[in-house]
Amino acid sequence: MSESKAMILGASGPRLSVDEKAFYRAEKPWGFILFARNIETPDQIRALVAEMRDCVGRADAPVFIDQEGGRVQRLRPPLAANYPPAAELGALYARDADAGLRSAWLMARLHAFDLLRLGITADCLPVLDVPVEGAHDVIGNRAYGRDPETVAALGRASAEGLLAGGVLPVIKHIPGHGRAAADTHLSLPTVNTPLAELRKHDFAPFAALSDMPMAMTAHVVYSAIDGLHPATTSPAVIEDIIRDEMGFDGLLMSDDVSMQALSGDFGDRTDAIFAAGCDVVLHCNGVMDEMRQVAAQTPVLADKAEMRAQRALLRRERPDSVEEGAARREFASLTGKTVEAA
């Protein structure tokens, strides 16, 4: 693995600008992330991701996307079908556990078909947050259910469906965003729930999936652990809870460093993310001035972080032999949702 900086970056549009190409070549981010602004046609997406990888000189540079289904789905028709939100899979699971698990696996497997043909190799899925009454709707029906057992079971089925299709899953938002009373894109929520309840409810699905290759942090303060810092910048949350208690030793990336839940300038935020123990910083919006500030404070991937990054990429295997048309038909028969191929 050639030397990379410990960051995942976005781009401003559907094609790389001269400035972006020069910046990526100089700074060598470990990976990239795509949003709706980067997406036009299949050929354009394939060209964009190829150009990103060419800039950093690594054919295996991971390209991420948020492709959950429901309201968080960057690829839309005609590029990919509209998939149901996770809560609908949870409702099916409540009626018929086998059908629910199979549907979760199939939907993730279908995401993998959609993504891999475009050169996208990592999906920020599954959402393992467990919402509670009165929480902000930023998670809402993105969650598989309102109990940790349902969320863990369907989350594992989804993660395994992605892996079977040659796409890396990212569990989010560790150690749990379901109780947050604010949208972290806009402000910083504080959760005052006792630690014993957090362990039993919020943290349980993440502990159950601690063997997954990658996780994304929550910009949420858990006052029972650290009353000052959100998980993303809290050594206590990362070392004591995520690493030691949950046993997660995969690659830990921050949620988007440009979200308003974090404070300080971009250099300060980036410093705090690495000081807390995150392996990689995520910057999504493609704004060059912000990316320069992030890059200036981002170290080269080394030591444990580099080992975790390499280990994550090794989890990406050749897709299984599932036939796409048959998988789409089976998903439709189980869920009543027709999801045509692009």
DSSP annotation of 146: S
Catalytic hit among 185, 211, 244, 320 = 185
How far apart CA 19 and CA 278 sit, in angstroms, is 28
By three-state DSSP, how is residue 226 classified? coil
**Cβ neighbours of residue 17 closer than 8 Å, sequence gap 6 or more:** none
For 176: left if phi > 0, alpha if psi spans -120 to 50, otherwise beta; the answer is left
244 tagged catalytic: no
Question: How many CA atoms lie less than 13 Å away from 82 in the CB half-sphere?
Answer: 3
Catalytic hit among 255, 256, 279, 283 = 255
**Cβ neighbours of residue 44 closer than 8 Å, sequence gap 6 or more:** 14, 15
User: Torsion over CA of 59, 61, 66 and 69, rounded to 10 degrees?
Assistant: 40
What is the end-to-end Cα distance of the chain in Å, rounded? 33
DSSP annotation of 117: T
Tokens at residue 141, please?
Answer: 């029906």
219 tagged catalytic: no
**Cβ neighbours of residue 91 closer than 8 Å, sequence gap 6 or more:** none
Contact 173, 179 (CB under 8 A): no
DSSP annotation of 33: E
Angle between helices 266-276 and 288-297 in degrees, nearest 10: 40
By three-state DSSP, how is residue 248 classified? coil
**Catalytic machinery residues:** 185, 255
